[in-house]
Amino acid sequence: MTKSVDYFFSIGSPWSYIGFDAFIELAAKNEVAITPYLTTVVEENGGIFSRNRPEIRRAYWTRDLKRWARVRGKELWLEHRPELSDPTPASLFVIAAYLDRQDWIGVARALQHAFWSEAKDIGRSDVREAIVTAAGFDGAALLRRQADDDVQNKWSADRVHARDSGVFGFPTYVHDGELYWGQDNLPFLERHLRGDRP
């Protein structure tokens, strides 16, 4: 039987970006079917936006991001970033690609890299259209699709599913009813996928 993982992530989460390729590689190696769910921090379950954390914790968070970015081979632009709009609308491009059975992984990778490594304003529709087009996708089609009912309905349903699944931060992986929060939990997820359920 095919193994499956519900994958909860946010385009606006640097941890989702850092752990993205490692998770995709793990899933391929273990023949895992991924179902993506995109949303933002689930405050109802105790999630906290970084901007609402004490400065001492934010400073540690930044250091830890830099450590993990080096481990994962990712470039992060964290300091002196230009003022950017909310990246959340970029999620709609990923959802549209997924619903249309396109390469949603490639779309998500392009948008995350643009936002976290290049500080591009993916909250703007023209910017994200250009980014995914340059990456080899039909940016104009994804831009048209983002307002469609099925895309908007999945966006709304993803948040409800995240809340009801006990998700509070990103990335979160759920396999066989077991929740793993954070890309640093990927080794535990892989053990579970190989039969060592906690």
118-177 pLDDT, tens digit each: 999 999 999 999 999 999 999 999 999 999 999 999 999 999 999 999 999 999 999 999
What proportion of the chain, given as a percentage, has pLDDT over 70? 94
Beta-carbon neighbour count of residue 7 at 10 Å? 22
* Assigned CATH for 4-194: 3.40.30.10
32-38 and 178-181 as β-strands: parallel, antiparallel, unpaired?
Answer: unpaired
pLDDT at 46: 63
pLDDT band at 55 (very low <50, low <70, confident <90, very high): confident
pTM for the full model?
Answer: 0.92
Q: Which of 4, 10, 13, 165 is catalytic?
A: 13
Is pLDDT at 59 greater than 90 in this prediction? no
Q: Are the beta carbons of 46 and 168 closer than 8 angstroms?
A: yes
Helices (H) and strands (E) in the chain, counts: 8, 4
13 is catalytic: yes
Domain ranges for the chain: 4-194
